[in-house]
Structure 1
Amino acid sequence: MKLTVDARKCCGSGQCVLAAPEFFDQDDTGIVVLLAEEAGDDAAGDVEEAVFSCPTAAIEIVGR
């Protein structure tokens, strides 16, 4: 699955980092940083949790 983030929407809650730290990080101001644009099926649960826990919908799965 392909991942995208819209940093302009990010409020810095960090829920994505807690759910899937191998795919998401935060910069010095707390804004989301995408570490990997592709996630395999083995990581689907963590990535989906990150997407659904984002309070501003800044993360999107664009392909499966």
Structure 2
Amino acid sequence: MKIATDVDRCVGAGQCVLAEPAVFDQDESDGTVVLLTDSVDGETAERVREATHICPAQALSILD
């Protein structure tokens, strides 16, 4: 599964980082999402799906 982020939409809530810290981080200067990898599978993919659903700004996308 491929993942994309829209930094312009991101509000820095950090819900993605809480859902899957191996895939998402936050920029130290403004708190926006930083993608650590753009491809995942297995259990990590399920947590990434959850992160996309709980993102308040809808700044995450799944590209499969």
- Structure-2-length-normalised TM-score: 0.93
In structure 1, the gaps of 5 or more residues are none
Once the two structures are overlaid, the 10-residue window that deviates more, 27-36 or 40-49, is 40-49
Q: Distance in 2 between matches of 1:42 and 1:55?
A: 22
Cα RMSD of the aligned pairs, angstroms, is 0.7
1:9 aligns to what?
A: 9
Runs of 4+ displaced beyond 6 Å: none
| Count of residue pairs brought into register by the alignment | 63
Report percent identity of matched pairs. 46
Aligned-partner SS, 1:4: strand
- Structure-1-length-normalised TM-score: 0.93
In structure 2, the gaps of 5 or more residues are none
